[in-house]
Amino acid sequence: MSEISISNSSAPKPTVTVLAGDNDGPPGVERLYDHVDARIVCDEAGLAESLPDSQIVLVTDFRSDALARTWPQAKNVDWVHAASAGVDQLMFDALRTSDVAITNAQGIFDHAIAEYVLGAILFFAKDTRHNVVYQQQKRWVHRDTETIADKRVVVAGAGSIGHEIGALCRAAGMAVDGVASRAREGDDVFGRIHAAAHIDDVLTEADYVVIAAPLTDATRHWFDAARFNAMPPHARLINIGRGPIVVTDDLVDALQNNQIAGAALDVFENEPLPADHPLWSMDNVLLSPHMAGDFVGWREALIDQFLANLDRWQTGQPLFNPVNKKAGYAA
């Protein structure tokens, strides 16, 4: 999707409402002005005012639920694009049951997130935390560390992000299984892809468990005490999916009681994570502020992707990354 060829149609520019986190919009948003009448809004009032005249909504603030509350004003909207992989905030009934197309940013963040996951695995295996601590203390403390070759990774969520995670882990010599809504044959990345209904059986053999699933009704609070009980005591959890997929209190209990060995968490039920939360002070936990996929240039890449899809919309071609509104993720 690197080539961008916007139609030079003499038709009036479509009106695009950009739901952003601030009045400036994301970097690169000014590139839209040559192609569309772009209106940047960052609150519910602005959205309600802009929607009636808009044909397209570009959602760059994936945390906002303002669109659900103002959707009755969207009389002429034909397409909603989420500049994120997750579309859970767009899965409100009025939009799901409408004829409006939804697309997402599938593909933009896949490799960066996979690199984050592999880095987290190596962080644990090579005891990087204590290397940093001992360096700060100027202490020479020799230890033996783990290798990751032949260790088993279970990727819960076998979509494009999960597949890229599996590919990097497999290239590093790890064995990789996937978990999806339905079982299917393995491929050049996943040895097997198991049905979500049988995930506990798969977790018992995991060294690392990576959550890469979208947030849906089926995955909300999917990882609870039962999932952690199924994991071996030496296993580590890595969550780069969505925070509410994990029951945080159950995870804290599992970590404190040595039911699992550690966790790397980029997403949380409540963001930002409260300063007094016990996860901050656990020495077997790696935390990051929802940035696993945010590489240098990602915002500009999102604009490139939207412009490429805009050309398809203007010329009547099928859109990239259509979301299956019933399933709640990209088809």
* CATH number (domain holding residue 322): 3.40.50.720
Catalytic positions: 242, 271, 290
Same domain, 276 and 172: yes
pLDDT for the residue 200: 98
Ranges under pLDDT 50 in the chain: 1-8
36 found inside a domain: yes
Shared domain check, 281 and 156: yes
Q: Peptide bond preceding 272: is omega within 30 degrees of 0, i.e. cis?
A: yes
Q: Are residues 148 and 209 in the same domain?
A: yes
5 domain residue, yes or no: no
Is pTM beyond 0.95 here?
no
Domain count, the chain: 2
In terms of domains, do 73 and 203 share one? Answer: no
Same domain for 326 and 177: no
Judge whether 2 lies within some domain.
no
Kindly state whether residues 31 and 86 are assigned to the same domain.
yes
Give yes or no: residues 56 and 180 share one domain. Answer: no
Does a structural domain hold residue 9?
no
Distance CA 155, CA 213 (A): 9
Q: What is the pLDDT of residue 8?
A: 47
pLDDT of residue 2: 36
pLDDT at 276: 98
Q: Looking at the domain assignment, is residue 10 inside a domain?
A: no
Same domain as 147, residue 218: yes
Predicted confidence at residue 10, as pLDDT, reads: 57
| Cα 103 from Cα 204, distance rounded (Å) | 36
- The residue segments making up the domain with residue 48 are 15-108+296-330
Q: What residue type is 90 in one-letter code?
A: L
- Residue 161 covered by a domain: yes
Tell whether 6 is covered by a domain: no
323-324 and 329-330 strand pairing:
antiparallel
